């Protein structure tokens, strides 16, 4: 299967990406920490939820349009921030941002992107993308990143809270993950089997971390970059830092990595415009619950005080519908669009979005709804979905 028109589901894109992307970069996407139990649970728990089919409803006029932090979206799905996106395909962040722009959904650029903030802004015109921030020990660098995102016209800042330390991902260690690829025999043999990827990568100058190289004193090559990055994730990050970042940014602030009702309340207290129920795709705390399991208690704790979104395990429009039914106002996809990017560049990302929107529209209709904004738990089969834990259950 080589033509994107033959692709019918995200799994098709995953298989094609696996054939086209070098092993270390494909594995970087398709892995979780330690036993990968949480990574697998994100998908499996969504699959267990059943839907209520309804009939004899006028389905002639349907809409998946919604809003996320006040921004109109073609469907309540945004492209999540993912590091090394530009190693799935040459110029990957630019291509993904263009696909999102054309489709009408938000794109989020990672701090650890290959293409820089300025590069993405230059190639996407006036369409505002979002920027994701990691807090580094070098707070002057963090302040400059925020200012660069402002200057680029980014319409929201997404602050990731669950990567003060990095979870161990066994495949990355075994593959010797590096940017660019280390010229070992095994890696060179693997690259030789990916000629399409190699041709595209040779045609771009973007092969390092664009938001860092040239913006940090003393970081002039990949060796010094690696040493700087390894020492920079800040374990002292706390809620006071969140308040400082919100003041410095001054715009829409989204907090990513919330998995606990008490943390959700603390996030609301900072004035966050949205929070994302996220376990980093199962890449940090292995043994944490799936995001769909954690979602109901967080929605209950926050109420209408801020928007609650969810990522993790979303591989279809049905998964999006289930998250919305349990109270999420929006969702984010990471692996699903990265598989599309690896499989077919910008066209592959577009295909991933098309697949998810068609599934979302069709499933919503089968459940008797015509407007995505009216979806609630009544579209789910009773007893098949997670409920909020009682206050006495020890969640918070």
Residue with tokens 């998908």: 43
Cα separation, 395 vs 388, in Å, equals: 10
The answer to whether 280 is a known catalytic residue is yes
- How do 330-333 and 307-311 pair as beta strands? parallel
For the record, the structure tokens of 76 come out as: 């309540």
For residues 12 and 316, the answer to whether their CB atoms sit within 8 Å is no
**109 Rama sector, left if φ>0, alpha if ψ -120 to 50, beta otherwise:** beta
Place of tokens 């300025």: 118
Q: DSSP string of 207-224?
A: -S-TTTTTTSTT--SHHH
Rounded Cα–Cα distance for residues 310 and 196 (Å) = 34
Cα angle 368, 336, 350; round to 5? 80
Q: Which helix (H) or strand (E) holds 144?
A: helix 139-151
Catalytic residue among 89, 123, 170, 280: 280
Alpha-carbon distance of 353 to 98, in angstroms, equals: 12
> Could you give the C-alpha distances from 372 to 74, 77, 134, 261, in angstroms and in order?
11, 12, 32, 26
Rg (alpha carbons) of the chain, rounded to whole number: 20
> Known catalytic residues?
280
């Amino acid at each position: 299967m080589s033509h994107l028109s033959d692709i019918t589901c995200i799994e098709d894109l995953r298989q094609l990406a696996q054939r086209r992307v070098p092993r270390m970069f494909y594995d970087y996407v398709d892995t979780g920490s330690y036993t990968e139990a949480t990574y697998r649970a994100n998908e499996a728990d969504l699959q267990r939820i059943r839907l209520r089919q309804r009939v004899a409803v006028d389905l002639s006029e349907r809409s998946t349009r919604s809003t996320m932090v006040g921004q109109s979206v073609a469907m309540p799905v945004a492209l999540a921030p993912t590091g090394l996106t530009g190693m799935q395909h040459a110029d990957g962040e630019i291509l993904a941002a263009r696909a999102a722009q054309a489709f009408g959904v938000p794109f989020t650029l990672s701090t650890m992107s290959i293409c820089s903030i300025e590069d993405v802004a230059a190639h996407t015109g006036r369409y505002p993308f979002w920027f994701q921030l990691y807090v580094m020990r070098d707070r002057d660098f963090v302040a400059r990143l925020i200012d660069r995102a402002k200057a680029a016209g980014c319409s929201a800042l997404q602050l990731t809270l669950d990567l003060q330390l990095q979870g161990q991902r066994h495949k990355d260690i075994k593959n010797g993950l590096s940017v660019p690829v280390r010229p070992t025999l095994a890696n060179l043999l693997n690259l030789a089997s990916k000629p399409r990827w190699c041709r595209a990568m040779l045609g771009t100058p973007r092969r390092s971390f664009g938001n860092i190289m040239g913006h940090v004193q003393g970081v002039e090559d990949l060796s010094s970059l690696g040493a700087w990055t390894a020492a920079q994730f800040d374990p002292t990050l706390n809620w006071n830092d969140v308040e400082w970042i919100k003041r410095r940014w001054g715009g829409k602030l989204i907090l990513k990595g919330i998995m606990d009702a008490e943390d959700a309340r603390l996030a609301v207290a900072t004035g966050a415009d949205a929070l994302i129920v996220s376990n980093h795709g199962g890449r940090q705390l292995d043994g944490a619950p799936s995001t769909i399991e954690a979602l109901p208690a967080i929605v209950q704790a926050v109420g209408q005080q801020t928007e609650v979104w969810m990522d993790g395990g979303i591989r279809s429009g049905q998964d999006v519908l289930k998250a919305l039914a349990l109270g999420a106002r929006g969702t984010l996809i990471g692996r699903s669009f990265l598989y599309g990017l690896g499989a077919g560049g910008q066209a592959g990302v577009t295909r991933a979005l098309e697949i998810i929107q068609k599934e979302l529209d069709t499933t919503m209709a089968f459940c008797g709804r015509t407007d995505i904004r009216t979806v609630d738990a009544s579209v789910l089969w009773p007893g098949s979905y997670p409920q909020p834990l009682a206050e006495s259950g020890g969640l918070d």
